[in-house]
Structure 1
């Protein structure tokens, strides 16, 4: 399969019209890849049992059990399964968990593209687990994982040409055409030729990783006093006050709602979005770099997402973000770029509830709407603090959430011009909650990091941030203007 060229229904173009961006010269610099090879702990082994619950129609229904065949407990948070299949031309896909013994809220599903497509596989569905799934003792299994996926447009699927599909597997049995890794090390199954799952260098079994040296860097610990603190502007940040999209027409972008508050032992930036159910009472927030100078390398931020307002009725169609972007110079211009983390705590854009998107944009046309992008998604709650990392080199864009790979998008979506770095929180519409009772939502940001032309693992990001903090460095910007 190929990544989707159909956008999730969120329109990146709306955001462009709202963002203050300047034209920038293109830059083309190579990227040094840094890796640390993992190893599964001694005794950690699993196998995968599979049965199919649907042989055709409009959705695939692969069901799994993960069995601990080793001599040590296995944390399911370190386990990843891959089911390989052949995509329908031009299709994008949606993952669903119908039922799981461990709870669907603790099961994640993302789609990836194979580096070496075969006649029976060019995409895979990767199944992961949150920490809430717990561990498997030796000899035990996960119980049913009743999963399914379908084309996003619900058109018919053809499963007969899918590598991992077993039409005669109507009861659970060992299935080697699904692979499993523990802590990034493959322990079960055979992938399509030339496509063994890549080791994950970021799992919790990794030893501490020293931050790599070199590389022009932007780091900000957001230790400011208010949105009017002169240091905020002198460090290159703009707090948005101009009107326009995205979001509710007629809403205000309110600088006063960007504050800096204590959270434990550190200061964090808080973006507050509030409404009383009308455009006139809706206030949204955005903070972005004035400089448009960031391209290849590593982008990271620690962000706190909220599922519910501080008070008042819940349900608003909220978007909480961390992203990089440049301006669309003309409809379908091929030098446009945008890379998003977007969390919708109450759904929206046709989604009924929580969903986290990562999206890589090639280009779009606002009217009539047409988009060229790739996206990955997970339908579960992400309330709380999360470490978000996206790396861009000359061949691939990779997104990580809390140290685990979340999405991987290929070279068609690489940036051709520099971008700004942005955080915003806004309402898609007022349809999610019609109450006129005031309510407000918070999105917090602990830090932001960009390392130019270096691909860092999440462990290396954490080490680099810790080194800045240990040295008492709250801000550094050595990234040159293009």
Structure 2
């Protein structure tokens, strides 16, 4: 269903240095020290955690987009040019890490997209992992979708997404696996709908997709399992779509979360759309059930572990 996609992604991002010793940095530490508030930065002298091999977990306990731990833990915030949506309107100002009483652990990554119906007044937002070390296995995230704007008039064709994707659209082994929620539809369709799309090529588009028609306001656990020659998309433990054959990952990918506009259907008055991410989890090479994912995530929260990355480097 989706667009013929993006300009090369690396050209559209603010350059942020990812140290080669990613998980040797103290920023990979667990929870805040006793007496620290929830909004305090992760201490830079904490020990590196150990954990299950081939595992990535992050619950986005950062003080802001300028927190050194964000970069050290392998995240970039998009700020610059490119597609999709309203071209060249990506802004890091839409990303934040506020407290949230509805979230496990009380903290979220908030992706706030806004527009007044003009390109000049539009801000889209995207946050991605870096390193392209994620391939087959289980991808999971607890995501809060919005059916209506946080402020302003309803009606925008907004896309709220969680997806692993190749570092370059022009790669010979291009891979992309999409969860895309369109509360008001788009591209001629009427929402609400969740589109699952497995891509073989970005340009010209070559993909298979499935549309699940249901309103999804609120928190959900989104999962993508890519093992044994097939990709399975699920929502809150319910399988929605499976692709196979050539429609499977062919190379390593990064995880992206984004909130953007397909078009600008009307002008007049600003409106803001929020998407939130509670945590993200990846297990290399294995199919993991939702119950097992949640049990592992609960264990990280209980141990005060905010970030872990034991995925082998390329």
Instruction: Please indicate the TM-score interval, normalised by the length of the shorter structure.
Output: 0.7 to 0.9
CA contact (8 A) 1:215 1:454 kept: no
- Report how many aligned residue pairs link the two structures: 275
The residue correspondences of 1:264-275 to structure 2 (distance < 5 A) are 264=101, 265-275=105-115
> Aligned pair in 2 of structure 1 residues 12, 217: CA closer, same or farther (>3 Å)?
farther
Is the Cα–Cα contact under 8 Å of residues 394 and 414 in structure 1 kept in the other structure? no
User: Which residue pairs with 1:261 in the alignment?
Assistant: 98
**Correspondence 1:409 to 2:243:** yes
CA distance in 2, matches of 1:19, 1:407: 31
Give the secondary structure class of the aligned counterpart of 1:263.
coil
Q: CA deviation at 1:20?
A: 5.3
> What's 1:320 paired with?
160
Deviation at 1:249, TM superposition (A): 2.9
**Residues 389 and 329 of structure 1: is their aligned pair in 2 closer, same or farther, counting only changes over 3 Å?**
closer
Classify 1:336/1:358 alpha carbon distance in 2 versus 1 (closer, same or farther; 3 Å).
Answer: same
Partner SS state of residue 128, structure 2 = strand
What RMSD in Å do the two structures reach over aligned CA positions? 2.0
CA distance in 1, matches of 2:237, 2:223: 8
Give the TM-score normalised by structure 1: 0.55
- Specify which of 65, 68, 71 is matched with residue 230 of structure 1: 68
**d(CA) in 2 for partners of 1:441, 1:326:** 27
Question: What are the superposed Cα offsets for residues 391-431 of structure 1, whole Å, 9 maximum, x if unpaired?
Answer: 11131101110011111111321222111111010001102
Q: How far 1:334 moved relative to its partner?
A: 4.8
- Structure 1 SS opposite 2:225: strand
Tell me, in whole angstroms, the C-alpha distance in 2 between the residues paired with 1:15 and 1:454: 32
Q: Relative to 1, partners in 2 of residues 1:329 and 1:276: Cα closer, same or farther, differing over 3 Å?
A: closer
Partner of 1:378: 212
1:427 matched to which residue of 2? 261
Query: Does the CA-based 8 Å contact 2:169-2:202 persist in structure 1?
Result: no
CA-to-partner distance for each residue in 1:377-401, whole Å, 9 max, x for gaps?
1112111111001111131101110
Whether 1:291 and 2:127 are equivalent positions in the alignment is: no
More strand by share: 1
Summarize the Cα distance change of 1:477–1:214 in structure 2 as closer, same or farther, 3 Å threshold. closer
Match of 2:3 in 1: 11
Alignment partners' CA distance in 1, 2:159 and 2:72: 28
Cα offset, 1:15, TM superposition? 6.5
Report the CA distance between 1:329 and its aligned residue: 5.8
Residue 301 of structure 1 pairs with residue 141 of structure 2 = yes
Equivalent residue number for residue 20 of structure 2: none
| Consecutive unaligned residues in structure 1, runs of 5 or more | 1-7, 22-212
Quick one: higher RCO (CA 8 Å, sep 6+), 1 or 2? 2
Alignment of 1:151-230 (within 5 A): 214-230=52-68
- The Cα shift of 1:372 comes to 1.9
The TM-score normalised by the length of structure 2 is 0.83
Structure 1 position 455 matched with structure 2 position 291: no
Aligned partners of 2:62 and 2:99: how far apart in 1?
A: 11
Aligned match of 1:239: 77
- Aligned partner of 1:115 in structure 2 is none
Change (3 A) 1:389 1:262: same
Please state how far the C-alpha of 1:454 moved relative to its aligned partner: 1.2
Distance in 2, matches of 1:298 and 1:391, equals 4
Q: Per-residue deviation at 1:328?
A: 4.6
The alpha-carbon distance between structure 1 residues 394 and 13, as it changes in their structure 2 partners (threshold 3 A), is same
Using a 3 Å threshold, how does the CA distance of structure 1 residues 250 and 418 change in structure 2: closer, same or farther? closer
Question: Which structure 2 segments of 5+ residues have no match?
Answer: 15-50
Alpha-carbon distance between aligned partners in 2 of 1:228 and 1:339, rounded to the nearest angstrom: 29
Aligned partners of 2:61 and 2:306 also within 8 Å: yes
Q: Distance between the aligned counterparts of 1:360 and 1:394, measured in 2?
A: 15
In the TM superposition, residue 230 of structure 1 has moved relative to its aligned partner by 1.1
Q: Does 1:445 align with 2:277?
A: yes
Deviation at 1:375, TM superposition (A): 1.1
Q: What is the CA–CA distance in structure 2 between the aligned matches of 1:19 and 1:393, rounded to whole Å?
A: 31
- Checking the alignment, whether the CA contact within 8 Å between 2:12 and 2:81 is kept in structure 1 is no
Q: Secondary structure at the match of 1:312?
A: coil
Aligned residue in 2 for 1:41: none
Give the match for residue 474 of structure 1.
306
Tell me how far apart the structure 1 counterparts of residues 289 and 4 of structure 2 sit (CA, whole Å): 27
> Which structure has the larger Rg?
1
1:352 aligns with 2:186: no
SS in 1 for 2:99: strand
Output aligned runs, 1:37-76, within 5 Å: none
